[in-house]
């Protein structure tokens, strides 16, 4: 039987149940989810599914990530709610490719782990599956493992196996509506030109789960836990000296009261040059290099190849004497003599992140 897989949280429990009920049935997992966005989220979910299938001894095949074709398929349905017409088209798209894969492998039946998701309508899934049975000759079997406390059991298995528990279906349109309803920043879509891995980003979680796989291969015990912290996202920034925009780089946690501040350099203390407005400070790239043991040749290089966030936070604490300081600290090649116009739009907010605990040490 071909089992279309959406994510490890659904698939691990679902396939465990299949193995228990059909011990003589060969199961082949098929990860085909072009709806997942961004690509880093797709990679993360695939990574955890690979781990899950390895634990269960199930063969896994990855389907194509044909995201553009999926976008074309749901065009015009962007505003549809969860379980609406867009989801139906999404199921049809995934079931069609899964049915063709089943035929290619010589399988006569298929199912999907989407059936166990409490966010999906089973009747909607069964309707799509039955349609492909009649047109493709591949029988769709709708197992209902939610009943009789199945959803609670699924949650228990997810915690026991420390599976990656995503908080949105994967679709960018569903994510947009979900974050709007929650009045939350859609920080999943942030990808800085600095190429940094941002705190609580998908990229950070991807690196964490890769590390988890390494620890398991080494037999090293670990735990994944959550912690609350103050998160930050830079939306846009620029510095204008007189009428000329100059290369500039705001350190992590740099904020101002509004999105723009104007003024002149008022005084200097220990290499920090203070604007006469908005508690803004400037430092030269030379100072930055000295205090961080770096060798950037100019600020533009820093902008496109920044150091670790932890390096910036350590520097901020060293410059201000406090890790809780959120004044704007801007790195420039040289301190401007002309009037300065600083554009700085940011978002600072309470958030949670996952961390690895290894032998009582944080990684």
Q: Write the DSSP symbol of residue 258.
A: S
| Same-domain status, 154 and 253 | no
Residues 6 or more apart from 42 whose CB is under 8 A from it?
33, 36, 65, 170
The residue out of 143, 160, 175 marking a domain boundary is 175
| Same-domain status, 14 and 155 | yes
Edge-to-edge order in the sheet of strand 265-269: 248-250, 329-332, 281-284, 272-275, 265-269
| Same-domain status, 246 and 159 | no
Q: How many CB atoms lie within 10 A of CB 228?
A: 9
Q: Is 223 part of a structural domain of the chain?
A: no
- Split at pLDDT 50, 70, 90, the class of 119 is low
| Same-domain status, 13 and 136 | yes
- Please determine, for residue 132, whether its predicted confidence score (pLDDT) is greater than 80: no
Task: Count structural domains, the chain.
Answer: 2
Instruction: Pick the most confident of 98-107, 122-131, 325-334.
Output: 325-334
Q: Is 213 part of a structural domain of the chain?
A: no
The residue with tokens 């059991």 is: 153
CATH number assigned to the domain comprising residue 109:
3.40.50.620
Q: Is 50 part of a structural domain of the chain?
A: yes
Tokens of 333: 């090649």
- Split at pLDDT 50, 70, 90, the class of 120 is low
Tokens of 223: 């735990």
The string of pLDDT tens digits covering residues 55-82 is 999 999 999 999 999 999 999 999 998 8
For residue 63, the enclosing domain spans: 2-175
| Same-domain status, 11 and 123 | yes
| Same-domain status, 29 and 136 | yes
| Same-domain status, 161 and 18 | yes
Q: Is 205 part of a structural domain of the chain?
A: no
CA atoms within 13 A on the CB side of 360: 0
Q: Is 220 part of a structural domain of the chain?
A: no
SS3 at position 128: helix
Query: How far apart, in Å, are the Cα atoms of 218 and each of 45, 105, 194, 264?
Result: 22, 34, 33, 57
**Whole-structure pTM value:** 0.90
- Please determine, for residue 145, whether its predicted confidence score (pLDDT) is greater than 70: yes
Mean pLDDT of the chain: 92
| Same-domain status, 131 and 272 | no
| Same-domain status, 44 and 141 | yes
Q: Is 69 part of a structural domain of the chain?
A: yes
The string of pLDDT tens digits covering residues 157-196 is 999 999 999 988 899 999 999 999 999 999 999 999 999 9
The residue out of 146, 175, 204 marking a domain boundary is 175
Q: Is 297 part of a structural domain of the chain?
A: yes
- State residue 360's pLDDT score: 57
Q: Please say whether the beta carbons of 231 and 326 come within 8 A.
A: no
DSSP string for 41-82: HHHHHHHHHHHHHHHHT-EEEE----HHHHHHHTTT-TTPPT
| Same-domain status, 233 and 166 | no
| Same-domain status, 24 and 163 | yes
CA dist 30 and 97 (Å) reads 10
Q: Is 191 part of a structural domain of the chain?
A: no
- Please determine, for residue 247, whether its predicted confidence score (pLDDT) is greater than 90: yes
The residue out of 112, 147, 175 marking a domain boundary is 175
CA dist 232 and 191 (Å) reads 13
| Same-domain status, 313 and 167 | no
Q: Per this entry, what is the length of the chain?
A: 363
**Average pLDDT, integer, range 25-42:** 96
Q: Please say whether the beta carbons of 49 and 163 come within 8 A.
A: no
Tokens of 251: 């350190």
Query: How far apart, in Å, are the Cα atoms of 326 and each of 68, 270, 290?
Result: 40, 19, 22
């Amino acid at each position: 039987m071909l089992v279309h897989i959406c994510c490890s949280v659904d698939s691990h429990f679902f396939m465990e149940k299949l193995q228990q009920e059909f011990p003589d049935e060969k199961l082949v997992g098929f990860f085909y989810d072009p709806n997942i966005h961004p690509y880093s989220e797709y990679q993360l979910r695939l990574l955890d599914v690979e781990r899950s299938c390895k634990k269960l001894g199930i063969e896994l095949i990855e389907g194509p990530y044909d995201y553009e074709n999926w976008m074309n398929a749901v065009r015009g349905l962007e505003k549809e709610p969860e379980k609406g017409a867009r989801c139906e088209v999404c199921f049809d798209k995934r079931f069609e490719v899964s049915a063709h894969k089943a035929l290619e492998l010589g399988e006569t039946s298929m199912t999907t782990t989407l059936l166990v998701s409490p966010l999906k309508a089973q009747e909607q899934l069964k309707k799509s599956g039955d349609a492909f049975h009649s047109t493709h000759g591949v029988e769709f079997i709708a197992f209902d493992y939610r009943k009789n406390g199945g959803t609670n059991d699924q949650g228990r298995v997810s915690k026991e196996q420390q599976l990656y528990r995503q908080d949105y279906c994967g679709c960018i349109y569903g994510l947009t509506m979900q974050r709007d309803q929650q009045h939350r920043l859609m920080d999943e879509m942030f990808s800085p030109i600095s190429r940094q891995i941002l705190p609580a980003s998908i990229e950070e979680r991807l690196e964490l789960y890769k590390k988890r796989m390494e620890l398991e291969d080494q037999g090293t015990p670990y735990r994944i836990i959550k912690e609350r912290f103050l998160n930050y996202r830079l939306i846009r920034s620029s510095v204008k000296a007189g009428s000329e925009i100059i290369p500039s780089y705001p350190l992590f946690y740099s904020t101002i009261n509004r999105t723009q501040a104007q003024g002149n350099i008022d005084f200097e203390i220990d290499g920090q040059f203070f604007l006469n407005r908005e508690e803004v400070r400037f430092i030269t790239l030379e100072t930055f290099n000295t205090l961080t043991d770096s060798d950037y040749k100019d600020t533009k290089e820093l902008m496109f190849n920044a150091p670790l966030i932890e390096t910036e936070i350590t520097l901020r604490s060293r410059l201000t004497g406090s890790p809780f300081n959120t004044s704007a600290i801007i790195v420039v090649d040289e301190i401007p003599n002309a009037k300065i116009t600083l554009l700085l739009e940011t978002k600072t907010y309470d958030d949670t992140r996952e961390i690895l605990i290894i032998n009582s040490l944080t990684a």
